[in-house]
Amino acid sequence: MKINAYRYLKYYKKEMILGPAFKILEVIFELITPFLMAYIIDTGINRATEFNDYSAIYIPGIIILALSVLGLSSTLVCQYFASIASQGYGTKLRNALYEKIMGLSLREIELVGKGNLVTLITNDVNRVQLSVAMMVRLVLRAPALIIGSLICAFIIDYKFAFIFLGVVIIISLILFFVIKYSSKRVLTTQKAVDELVTISNDSLSGIRVVKAFNNEEYEINKFKDKTSAYYKEMKKVNLLNAITNPVTFLIINIAIVLIVYFSGVSAINGTDLSSGNLTSLISYLNQILLALIVVSNLVVIFTKAFASKKRIENILSMEPSIKNNPKYKDLKIKNREPIFVFKNASFKYETGDNLVVSNLNFEILKGETVGIIGGTGSGKTTIIKLLERFFDVTSGHILYKGVDIKDYDLTSLHDEISLVNQRAVLFKGTIKSNLMMANKNATNEDINNALKDACAFEFVSNYKDGIDHEVEEGGKNFSGGQRQRLSIARSILKNSEVLILDDSTSALDYLTEKTLRNNLKSKENLTKIIIAQRISSLQNADKIIVMYHGNIEAIGRHDELLKTSKVYKEIYESQEVK
């Protein structure tokens, strides 16, 4: 179902009605002023010079001043309502968009791209938010001012009013073609922005690798190519937008010249247009000019906003591929009963043609330690994604605690599984706040016990502030091994039934890793699934699954695999494990 990004304006109906209403009041005050000026010029000055009566000057002058104050007050009230509506709307839209993104499956997030999602939450929401502010402040004001000025011109002199009408029609046609052309270009430029964000994120997140390989010049040139493409697209849009205002000025000034000219002709023919009325007509024409300039600027703002709105709506309307249709939750099984069973399970990505893993058949028992090993691209991490149900199998079945994993409550599944990725993820805050993400009710004693199990207590206790020690963005104030141990401690603190270590001890030395394995081994009811490149990390596992090009090459214990698995033996010999 298509979701309209403007649906959140329903919370600001009062502001959306009262704001434009006060703006219309301001327009009325502006339209009255030229009539009063004409009265002063045509009547007030004559009375003052002939009869020394200045009342026809200062009384309309006081009214003009009062109208100006009222107009300013109306504008301020309108701005106040516009601010509430736009900022409130932007906040709700941004929150809704972020909530939607967090609810999407991993497949959709990878498909859209993390850089694009960041651009949506920031740049695109800001554009749509600005459009709301303009709706309240200017969308009604500009047309009302143009229509009102046209009506006033017809009241003064219908022959001159047709010049006004011609100006409005010509400029409206110009703006129509600008909108038609710009709307297509804005989408193209937004895609260019997304590409810039993606390249920037990749380069900055991998800056150590870039510098280590002296690859700065390549990254700079790649970025320049993308900025050059963005520049070319934006130049076309901005050139058209830049021409719009001068062309509008030119047409209005031609109209002013025509009015002055025909006014002179009327004077020669004895049908003189009074000085006050001539001044009023020029004033109304200038008001139309300013209104049309506002319209041309609004065209640019709304063209960009509608392009961003479409992108936002695509995300808001996106349905996660992983559906939670729970028939079961919180099921209990005994130790050494099957907790995971793969039956002819195969998987491929939507954008790919080849199966990443195919015909997987194996089972994992509760309380077992299971190792998964294989070369790069063999499908190890894909198995973990399927176990966590970040993706659903393309064919075949996965059973969890004896039932189809698709029928198990997704929230319960994720509560019962702890995952530690190879790239340890820490968030800005403290050590304690990072660990308590796994268990909000954990005590300091619980946290310290988890740190001890993960071999992290020693270095944490060396800090003066202990578990309250600050964690900088991304955990950059810790070494790779420290980040991995803190991530493992967080997963242990979760006290889940399954612990998955996805090559998450790669930064640990052999002694620390051995101590960690022994600590985990003592947790008999905990199912441990370990992906590793080092055979020493897996050789004591209850079973080891050897992956090769997306297929299971062999399953067995360490000693058995040395005899039966060619792949495992090659890995063993390449590492020279004694």
CB atoms near residue 433 (< 10 Å): 15
Token couple for 444 = 């300091």
Full 3-state SS string of 321-341: CCCCCCCECCCCCCCCCEEEE
| pLDDT (mean) for 336-349 | 92
Q: Domain check: are 305 and 231 in the same one?
A: yes
pLDDT of residue 15: 92
* Domain endpoint, select from 285, 316, 347: 316
pLDDT of residue 186: 66
Beta strand pairing status for 395-400 and 338-347? antiparallel
Token couple for 529 = 């699934």
Could you give the CA distance from residue 179 to residue 433 in angstroms, rounded to a whole number? 50
Q: Whose structure tokens read 């077992």?
A: 368
| pLDDT (mean) for 402-420 | 91
Token couple for 456 = 């992290």
Beta bridge partners of 376: none
For residue 485, tell me if it sits in a domain: no
DSSP conformational letter for 408: B
Q: Domain check: are 79 and 209 in the same one?
A: yes
| pLDDT (mean) for 554-572 | 90
- pLDDT tier at 554, thresholds 50, 70, 90: very high
For residue 482, tell me if it sits in a domain: no
Q: Domain check: are 210 and 298 in the same one?
A: yes
- pLDDT tier at 183, thresholds 50, 70, 90: low
The type of residue at 567 is V
With contact defined as beta carbons under 8 Å apart, do 43 and 60 qualify?
A: no
User: What is the per-residue pLDDT across 220-265, written as a single tens digit (0 to 9) for each?
Assistant: 888 888 888 777 777 777 776 677 767 777 777 777 777 777 766 6
Angle between helix axes 55-103 and 13-39 (nearest 10 degrees) is 160
Residue 87 pLDDT greater than 80, yes or no: yes
Beta strand pairing status for 338-347 and 357-365? antiparallel
Q: Domain check: are 367 and 304 in the same one?
A: no
User: What is the per-residue pLDDT across 124-135, written as a single tens digit (0 to 9) for each?
Assistant: 899 899 999 999
Residue 413 pLDDT greater than 60, yes or no: yes
Q: Domain check: are 189 and 87 in the same one?
A: yes
Of the ranges 206-215, 321-330, 401-410, 413-422, which is most confident? Answer: 401-410
Residue partners of 410: CB distance under 8 A and separation at least 6: 322, 324, 326, 389
Total domain count, the chain: 2
Q: Whose structure tokens read 């047309």?
A: 143
| pLDDT (mean) for 164-187 | 73
For residue 27, tell me if it sits in a domain: yes
Residue 408 pLDDT greater than 60, yes or no: yes
User: What is the per-residue pLDDT across 276-304, written as a single tens digit (0 to 9) for each?
Assistant: 777 887 788 778 777 877 877 787 788 78
- pLDDT tier at 366, thresholds 50, 70, 90: very high
Distance of CA 222 to the CA centre of its chain: 24
For residue 446, tell me if it sits in a domain: no
Q: Domain check: are 35 and 161 in the same one?
A: yes
Nearest to 399 by CA among 345, 355, 357, 348: 345
Q: Helix, strand or coil for residue 483?
A: helix
Q: Which residues constitute the domain of residue 234?
A: 5-316
Could you give the CA distance from residue 472 to residue 430 in angstroms, rounded to a whole number? 8
pLDDT of residue 451: 93
The type of residue at 560 is E
Q: Domain check: are 217 and 344 in the same one?
A: no
**Overall pTM surpassing 0.85 (yes/no):** no
User: What is the per-residue pLDDT across 164-173, written as a single tens digit (0 to 9) for each?
Assistant: 788 778 877 8
* Domain endpoint, select from 281, 316, 351: 316
What's the CATH code of the domain at 512?
A: 3.40.50.300
With contact defined as beta carbons under 8 Å apart, do 357 and 383 qualify?
A: yes
User: What is the per-residue pLDDT across 312-342, written as a single tens digit (0 to 9) for each?
Assistant: 888 888 888 888 888 888 889 998 999 999 9
Q: Domain check: are 382 and 526 in the same one?
A: yes
Beta bridge partners of 182: none
For residue 514, tell me if it sits in a domain: yes
For residue 531, tell me if it sits in a domain: yes
What's the CATH code of the domain at 309?
A: 1.20.1560.10
Residue 472 pLDDT greater than 80, yes or no: yes
For residue 438, tell me if it sits in a domain: no
- Complete DSSP assignment for 156-218: H-HHHHHHHHHHHHHHHHHHHHHHHHHHHHHHHHHHHHHHHHHHHHHHHHTHHHHHHTT-HHH
* Domain endpoint, select from 286, 316, 346: 316
φ/ψ of residue 355, rounded to 5: -70, 135
For residue 360, tell me if it sits in a domain: yes
| pLDDT (mean) for 457-480 | 89
Q: Domain check: are 303 and 382 in the same one?
A: no
Could you give the CA distance from residue 24 to residue 82 in angstroms, rounded to a whole number? 14
Q: Domain check: are 233 and 372 in the same one?
A: no
Q: Domain check: are 561 and 522 in the same one?
A: yes
With contact defined as beta carbons under 8 Å apart, do 210 and 203 qualify?
A: yes
CA distances from 211 to 115, 206, 564 (A): 22, 9, 44
- pLDDT tier at 270, thresholds 50, 70, 90: very low
Average pLDDT score over the chain: 84
Q: Domain check: are 102 and 229 in the same one?
A: yes
User: What is the per-residue pLDDT across 543-552, written as a single tens digit (0 to 9) for each?
Assistant: 999 999 899 9
The torsion of the CA quartet 567, 572, 575, 578, rounded to 10 degrees, works out to -170
> What is the Cα gyration radius of the chain?
36
Residue 52 pLDDT greater than 70, yes or no: yes
Could you give the CA distance from residue 554 to residue 453 in angstroms, rounded to a whole number? 31
